[in-house]
Amino acid sequence: MTGHPLESVSHTGFEKFVQIRRHLHQYPELSNEEFETTKAIRGWLAEAGIRIVEAGLATGVIAEVGGVRPGPVIAIRADIDALPVQEETGLSYASRIPGKMHACGHDFHTASLLGAAYALKERESELQGTVRFVFQPAEEKAKGARQVLDSGVLDGVQAIFGLHNKPDLPVGTIGIKSGPLMAAADGFVVEVDGKGSHAAVPEAGLDPIVTAAHIITALQSIVSRNVSALQSAVISVTQLHSGTAWNVIPEKAVLEGTIRTFDEQVRAQVLERFSQVVDGVTSALGTSGGVRWIEGPPPVINDEALAQLGLEAAAAAGLEAVVPVPSPAGEDFAVYQREIPGLFVFMGTAGTQEWHHPAFTLDEAAIPASIRFWTELADIALKQLASGGGEQP
């Protein structure tokens, strides 16, 4: 892409946050092991005299700017954890930790939020309220948001905001959409119990493989026959294990896979139908079975009024807003949105690879863009919430 106004903007004034991102990139830590990352973030916050809110978290940091003038409290969240991926970017600042990499760009999220905290600290006395900065651990395991909420540091927060880098959007663009943006990502394990027998004498046993085959086929009817044409869902069986010999009908079969949905009602309906299919097919075929759910994060559903604020902030920050295509990936920001109105956006980072790829990269020109977006958004959101607009009851 050429000619976008942001391309001519240098990193002047933002080098510090580019360097911070590169430091984090070199020393990635996995979910709930972000001890050095936590220490480093506390250090950078202290350098700028930014208040740290003690939350009792083992990893992760909560900080705060504002409160000089009374007003609402909003939160902005960045995730700080990395992935068990061996980096293959060849960058000069590539990961120095074997088998660990910031392959989802959470180093970029963290550096951008630090930049926003610095910028907002400079104009603290003008802020009409308080901004709480959430450097959240363990997003990749979908645990961190719960840990932050349980610590109580978000009590009284009226709106929460978060972003994820988006490799397929150019720098200078931002994906903002009200309603569903990312999927609920649940997992399942189905165990089918039959009765083993000689393969030549099937009538003496109860075949779990035939049952598993019928279950997989019947599951295909859920999306096609139970989910409205105006809604969507995905059911993928990704593992099927059974048997040890060519001439033995085994005792057991195990199926595993995932269900993705963008709506809580559809999610509940699909999970219910799934259990009914397993119960019905096993009982019809004389075997028995059970479903074990691996509950993932709920869907990311953006608040309509906050999406409007996001569009205003994007314009003020000189970003081009686009309507993003929802992603079937999961994101634990959704856990906050069940309790606090929230907006999650996609920041264009012009990457060459998708999230979690060993050669994942991003264009660091998106750091100034993100800092400007957060700074404008905090300002606009506090003013509007203070004036009784948006989310105030």
Binding residues for Ni ion, rule: CB under 5 A, are 104
Q: How far is the CB of 105 from Ni ion (least distance, A)?
A: 7
Nearer to Ni ion, 101 or 285 (CB): 101
Tell me the residue number closest to Ni ion, measured at CB.
104
**What's the rounded Cα separation, in Å, for the pair 288 and 17?**
57
Q: How far is the CB of 27 from Ni ion (least distance, A)?
A: 18
Nearer to Ni ion, 291 or 329 (CB): 329
**What's the rounded Cα separation, in Å, for the pair 365 and 7?**
8
Q: How far is the CB of 81 from Ni ion (least distance, A)?
A: 9
Nearer to Ni ion, 274 or 346 (CB): 346
Nearer to Ni ion, 141 or 292 (CB): 141
Q: How far is the CB of 113 from Ni ion (least distance, A)?
A: 14
Nearer to Ni ion, 101 or 104 (CB): 104
**What's the rounded Cα separation, in Å, for the pair 299 and 317?**
28
Q: How far is the CB of 104 from Ni ion (least distance, A)?
A: 3
Nearer to Ni ion, 147 or 211 (CB): 147
**What's the rounded Cα separation, in Å, for the pair 280 and 311?**
48
Nearer to Ni ion, 104 or 278 (CB): 104
State both tokens at 38.
């936590």
CA 45-49-55 angle, 5° bins:
55
What's the length of the chain? 393
Nearer to Ni ion, 357 or 383 (CB): 357
Q: How far is CA 289 from CA 235, 262, 269, in A?
A: 18, 28, 20
Of 295, 294, 284, the C-alpha closest to 215 is 284
**What's the rounded Cα separation, in Å, for the pair 131 and 151?**
17
Measured in whole angstroms, the distance separating CA 187 from the mean position of its chain's CA atoms is: 16
Q: How far is the CB of 140 from Ni ion (least distance, A)?
A: 7
A 10 A CB-CB count for 41 gives 27
Nearer to Ni ion, 104 or 340 (CB): 104
**What's the rounded Cα separation, in Å, for the pair 330 and 295?**
11
The residue to which tokens 């936590």 are assigned: 38
Q: Say which residues have a Cβ less than 8 Å from residue 245's Cβ, sequence separation at least 6.
A: none
Q: How far is the CB of 355 from Ni ion (least distance, A)?
A: 6
Q: How far is the CB of 358 from Ni ion (least distance, A)?
A: 15
Q: How far is the CB of 12 from Ni ion (least distance, A)?
A: 28
Q: Say which residues have a Cβ less than 8 Å from residue 358's Cβ, sequence separation at least 6.
A: 85, 86, 87, 88, 89, 101, 103
Q: How far is CA 203 from CA 19, 249, 279, 289, 310, in A?
A: 69, 11, 22, 19, 64
